[in-house]
Chains A and B, each alone.
Chain A
Amino acid sequence: GAVVSQHPSWVICKSGTSVKIECRSLDFQATTMFWYRQFPKQSLMLMATSNEGSKATYEQGVEKDKFLINHASLTLSTLTVTSAHPEDSSFYICSARGDKLDTEAFFGQGTRLTVV
Chain B
Amino acid sequence: GDSVTQMEGPVTLSEEAFLTINCTYTATGYPSLFWYVQYPGEGLQLLLKATKADDKGSNKGFEATYRKETTSFHLEKGSVQVSDSAVYFCALSDQRWGKSTFGDGTTLTVKP
A residues adjacent to B (C-beta < 8 A)? 6, 32, 34, 36, 42-46, 49, 93, 95, 97, 101-105, 107-110, 112
| Contact indicator A32/B98 (Cβ below 8 Å) | yes
15 contacts between A and B (CB under 8 A): A36-B100, A44-B44, A44-B100, A45-B102, A46-B99, A95-B100, A97-B98, A102-B95, A104-B32, A104-B98, A105-B93, A105-B99, A105-B100, A109-B42, A112-B41
Would you call B82 an interface residue if the criterion is a C-beta within 8 Å of the partner chain's C-beta atoms? no
| Contact indicator B98/A105 (Cβ below 8 Å) | yes
Task: Please give, as numbers and ranges, the residues of chain A lying within 8 Å of B42 by CB-CB distance.
Answer: 109-110
Interface string of B79-111 (1 = CB under 8 A from A): 000000000010001011111111111000000
Q: How many A-B residue pairs have CB under 8 A?
A: 54
Give A104 to B89 CA distance when docked, in angstroms.
16
**Contact residues on B (Cβ < 8 Å of other chain), bracket:** 20 to 34
| Chain A nearest CB, measured from B22 CB (Å) | 16
In-complex Cβ contact of B98 among A6, A34, A43, A93 (8 A):
A34
